[in-house]
Structure 1
Amino acid sequence: MPNLHPTLTAELHLSDGRKIALPVYQGTLGYNAIGVETLQKQGLFTYDQGLTSTALCESSITYIDGDQGILLHRGYPIDELAFNKTYLDTAYLLLEGEMPTEEQLTEFKKEICAHYMVNDQFTRLFQGFRRDSHPMAVMCAASSALAAFYNDDFQSDKDTDRTAIRLLAKMPTLAAMCYKYSIGRPFMYPQYHLSYAGNFLYMMFATPCEPYVVNPVLERAMDRIFTLHADHEQNASTSSVRSVASSGSNPFACIAAGIASLWGASHGGANEACVRMLEEIGTVDRIPEFIAKAKDKNDPFRLMGFGHRVYKNYDPRAKVMRETCHEVLQELGINTPLLEVAMELERIALSDPYFIERKLYPNVDFYSGIILKAIGIPVSMFTVIFALGRTVGWIANWKEMNEEHLKIVRPRQIYTGHQERHLK
């Protein structure tokens, strides 16, 4: 731990009589951490399946207290950022450590606009995919392919900053290209006069045939979705980015690794799974049947979009998303069976003692899925939207790791296979 100094000492007592002193480190907030680096000299490792009780790094980017329902970016509560700032404000904060001044934000926006475009050869890259390819598969390939166009050495701060801007700017363009290609529509060029979220909506839904006006309510909703997904501490995808980055790999490859990890149904695919569940329920009159299945321990059915692995309280992002969800539904005047099911499930979850006692509150995936569906974004694109918002968090972690020159990640294992044996 390069910047931490032990504040306490723990002592490990083994049954063979050995006593091992271990340093205890304390962060700004949260748990203390016992340093176990010296255990290897004693012929010991720690075993923590899933690494849920292991700190792999020190970071000053994001802090989560799941028991209290707290999420801070550089010290700022997520709801304050989502309600009062834009995604690019939050992106600058994550990348640079402080909120931008008006002049800094203006320059930041100019730099991003200058890099929205992707090389024209990308149109041919997309033509190599089937039209029905999953957009996340295409995003993995496209983000990794950026390395073939930008081969900086990434040793200087200037190269690092330029790479961060490029990734942040090009991801919405690539994401919109994924969608347009899947439906056989022409790619739309980015519009520099629009906001980050507005530009993405334009590239998704505009056509060359008629003018497209961005709805400000949907623009604000998309901006909040990006903000609420910007970073979430050391989750599976962020840890993947850091692990790949620790080998000195190209940053575009690191982001591709994050996208691949995010694709999983247990991670970024949760909002997609939530909408699939709502479609399975179908109508409000079938909800009691599925609630009963969810309460039955012997039934494999689980309600998606409720509760969270980290938050044992109300997910602070869900509070923002809930308000945004109702704003979008009111603006669009949509009243479909799927949305009726979602709203009734929300009402039950917030009033039924079974859900309240177990703190199974609707989470950010529940509401974001409803919003995206209402806007007209296909379910297969949901995780792409997540990846687009999370890119800045991955970049911030890549930058932080790069600056600290941390050694390569090399977890250990408990071997349970055969002992040494020989061919007869």
Structure 2
Amino acid sequence: MGRPLETSSSESLTVRDNRTGKTYNIPIVDNSVSATAFKAISAPAKPNEREESGTEKGLRVADKGFLNTAVIQSEITYIDGEAGVLRYRGYPIEQLALHSSFLETAYLLIYGSLPTKDQFRVFETEVLHHSIIHADAEEFFRSFRYDAHPMAILTSAFAYLGSYYSEANPSLQGRQWQTLFTKGDKASLANMDKQIFRLIGKATTLAAMAYRIRQGRDFVIPPTGLSYTGSFLYQMDHLGEENYVPNPVLCKALDVLFLLHADHELNASCTTVLQTGSSLVDPYSAIAAGCASLYGPLHGGANEAVIRMLISIGSPANVPAFIEAVKRREKVLSGFGHRVYKTTDPRSYIIRKTADEVFKVTGRDELLETAMALHDAAMKDEYFTKRRLYPNVDFWSGLIYRAMGFPMDFFPVLFAVPRVVGWLAHWRQMMLQEGGVKIWRPRQIYVGAGKRDYVPMAERESSLVNSDPKKTPSTVPHSGMTKRTMLASYRGKSKL
């Protein structure tokens, strides 16, 4: 906690409040300072100052978009954006992609260490065993329109899944369900593990069902004897062929892509899961919230945007004109730059190699030449290198998914399925943290109107604010039955 300066320390931040002349000494721990320490830095309100400013109640730390705010201590993923480093539990992503598998890496992310042979056997068996969905779920999936977006279906399906497992819902079991976690209660930890097995195991099944409902096909029961990604491709594509086995190159490529997408620290969707989970909601609802966050085009839809961009460019010959249009801010360059990485995304190297393996069996995608030309042109142009706009994971992953035959609106689903693992790893860490879970409740800086007295509607005057389209409801045009109904007269119709 910040306090007026008494003794100086090399591991502290000295702050002088020029409003009062007071100096405060704020401890630095793990190269961070506590935001609540600044609440001690207060000053008398100035004459005529807005009471909403709260000057006498201490400083708030403004950080729009969480650009430099740490909300939790974590042991899971380390990123150095300046150096292009990504490590899961200390292991470089390059080593894991080369030697590990998605499920082994999932174990690492969730439990903190690479599994022994016996530990992995149990984990893999449980995940695959829990991939089967209750038969009633067929009716749920068939209730969606034929053209429903697969991410809308998947998001809803995760929430729906939670209705089956009352033992995972603190609202039904009481808060003791969570407090027993932190005490290391074996039965409670086993209960938590079961929900983790279910969510990872059923993620591919729900995704495959969302795919097949769009295709007008019957659903497929998860097979036995296949890998995690092999089972996923089987459920998506099997049409009754005897001894059907998905192509091993595609299974391996998807496994690598899943591994690379398994976690990425506190991105928007992971933060959403933790924010939601901090209310002690069941993990299925928290995962559904994360899925909804991932749905956004600034997050999970980026690789789809890359493909649409390449299609719009058309051919390598059109790349120079596109580059110039980007510089004039007339076009958007998708797949380059990253909120965290200020150099090349380390995952992009691995995906590039994976793409080559996929193209050997699928053939080269017609957009590949355009992508290569765009990549080379951007890397040679000072406009982009000066701004540190380098290829990210989305630039190549969309090309792989397209070559494998996945529709573009299914790309975010292929992001969400493996990211369930990262979400669960962070959720589990938060549930088990010392001292239990505190609900996340950010502060705001209120800049709205001061205290106002209510004015009856008849006495209100039109004001200029009503001419601002951002501050008045839009008029919605109606047609068809609604238009005719609005013109009709009937009992109970408002005369306003």
Per-residue deviation, residues 345-392 of structure 1 (Å, max 9, x unmatched): 233334444433433222110111000000001101100110001000
Match for 2:217 among 158, 179, 185? 185
Amino acid at match of 1:135: P
So what's the TM-score if we normalise by structure 2? 0.80
1:247 aligns with 2:279: yes
Amino acid at match of 1:416: V
Amino acid at match of 1:225: L
Match for 2:300 among 264, 268, 285? 268
Q: Which residue of 2 aligns with 1:71?
A: 86
Q: Which moved more, 1:343-352 or 1:40-49?
A: 343-352
- Contact 2:364–2:403 at 8 Å: present in 1 too? yes
Pairwise CA RMSD: 1.6
Match for 2:407 among 378, 399, 421? 378
Per-residue deviation, residues 136-177 of structure 1 (Å, max 9, x unmatched): 111110000111011214541111111111111000000011
Q: Which residue of 2 aligns with 1:317?
A: 347
Match for 2:139 among 124, 133, 144? 124
Match for 2:75 among 50, 54, 60? 60
Aligned equivalents of 2:332 and 2:133: distance in 1? 41
Q: Which residue of 2 aligns with 1:340?
A: 369
Aligned equivalents of 2:128 and 2:10: distance in 1? 46
Amino acid at match of 1:302: V
Unaligned runs of 5+ in 1: 27-31
Q: Which residue of 1 aligns with 2:238?
A: 206
* Corresponding residue SS for 1:247: coil
- Contact 2:365–2:399 at 8 Å: present in 1 too? no
* Corresponding residue SS for 1:33: coil
Alignment of 1:11-410 (within 5 A): 11-16=14-19, 17-26=21-30, 32-41=31-40, 42=42, 43=57, 44-153=59-168, 154-155=177-178, 156-209=188-241, 211-296=243-328, 299-336=329-366, 338-404=367-433, 405-410=436-441
Per-residue deviation, residues 292-331 of structure 1 (Å, max 9, x unmatched): 11122xx231110112111001101111001111111122
1:416 aligns with 2:442: no
Aligned equivalents of 2:100 and 2:453: distance in 1? 65
Sort the Cα spacing of 1:7 and 1:322 in 2 relative to 1 into closer, same or farther, 3 A: farther
Aligned equivalents of 2:199 and 2:33: distance in 1? 36
Cα distance, 1:192 vs. partner?
A: 2.1
Per-residue deviation, residues 48-67 of structure 1 (Å, max 9, x unmatched): 11111110110000010000
Cα distance, 1:216 vs. partner?
A: 1.5
Sort the Cα spacing of 1:255 and 1:353 in 2 relative to 1 into closer, same or farther, 3 A: same
Amino acid at match of 1:40: K
- Contact 1:22–1:36 at 8 Å: present in 2 too? no
Q: Give the count of matched residue pairs.
A: 412
So what's the TM-score if we normalise by structure 1? 0.94
Unaligned runs of 5+ in 2: 2-8, 43-56, 169-176, 179-187, 456-496
Per-residue deviation, residues 237-262 of structure 1 (Å, max 9, x unmatched): 11111111111111101001100111
- Contact 1:242–1:254 at 8 Å: present in 2 too? yes
- Contact 1:69–1:312 at 8 Å: present in 2 too? yes
Per chain length, whose mean CA-contact separation is higher, i.e. which structure has more relative contact order (CA < 8 Å, sep 6+)? 1
* Corresponding residue SS for 1:305: coil
Aligned equivalents of 1:326 and 1:350: distance in 2? 20
Q: Give me the identity figure in percent.
A: 44
Cα distance, 1:11 vs. partner?
A: 2.2
Which stretches of structure 1, 4 residues or longer, exceed 4 Å deviation after superposition?
none
User: Greater CA radius of gyration, 1 or 2?
Assistant: 2
Q: Which moved more, 1:135-144 or 1:198-207?
A: 198-207
